[in-house]
Amino acid sequence: SQQGEEDPQALSIQEGENATMNCSYKTSINNLQWYRQNSGRGLVHLILIRSNEREKHSGRLRVTLDTSKKSSSLLITASRAADTASYFCATGGTSGTYKYIFGTGTRLKVLA
């Protein structure tokens, strides 16, 4: 079965609020990435966190990784209407593999 599963499947918040999305996976990973997909577009890489890291920041994004629980979270602070998109986690296997498994995605809607 698929590696990553996001939770919730859909999230609707008001502009200015924070949005938190979670990703769970099943096997050991080398790194975990988050991508954003705007409607009708390709995926855009947001942030990568390695298996030996616990937290990473990039602008309004904060990603955590708990390898003992095989889970990660993506926090978007002070959300904007432009953040409306689907967010996917992708898990990379052990070194040397070219294969990333994408989760099912969280559809975020930020209301102005």
Partner 1 sequence: DTAVSQTPKYLVTQMGNDKSIKCEQNLGHDTMYWYKQDSKKFLKIMFSYNNKELIINETVPNRFSPKSPDKAHLNLHINSLELGDSAVYFCASSDYDQETQYFGPGTRLLVL
Give Dmax (Cα) for the chain.
Answer: 44
Q: Which of 42, 59, 68, 112 binds partner 1 (CB under 8 A)?
A: 42
* Span interacting with partner 1, options 16-24, 51-59, 62-70, 90-98, rule CB under 8 A: 90-98
- Tell me how far the alpha carbon of residue 26 is from its chain's centroid: 15
Nearer to partner 1, 2 or 18 (CB): 2
Token pair 């904007």 is found at 80
Q: Which of 84, 86, 108, 110 binds partner 1 (CB under 8 A)?
A: 86
Residues 43 to 72: which contact partner 1 by CB under 8 A? 43-45, 48
- Cβ 87 vs Cβ 34: under 8 Å: yes
Q: Which of 15, 67, 104, 109 binds partner 1 (CB under 8 A)?
A: 104
Give whole-number Cα distances, 60 to 11, 42, 44, 45, 86, in Å. 18, 21, 16, 15, 17
- Cβ 70 vs Cβ 89: under 8 Å: no
* Span interacting with partner 1, options 13-21, 51-59, 60-68, 93-101, rule CB under 8 A: 93-101
Strand 61-66 with 55-58, pairing: antiparallel
**Positions that interact with partner 1 (CB under 8 A):** 2, 31, 33, 35, 37, 40-45, 48, 86, 88, 90, 92, 97-102, 104-105, 107
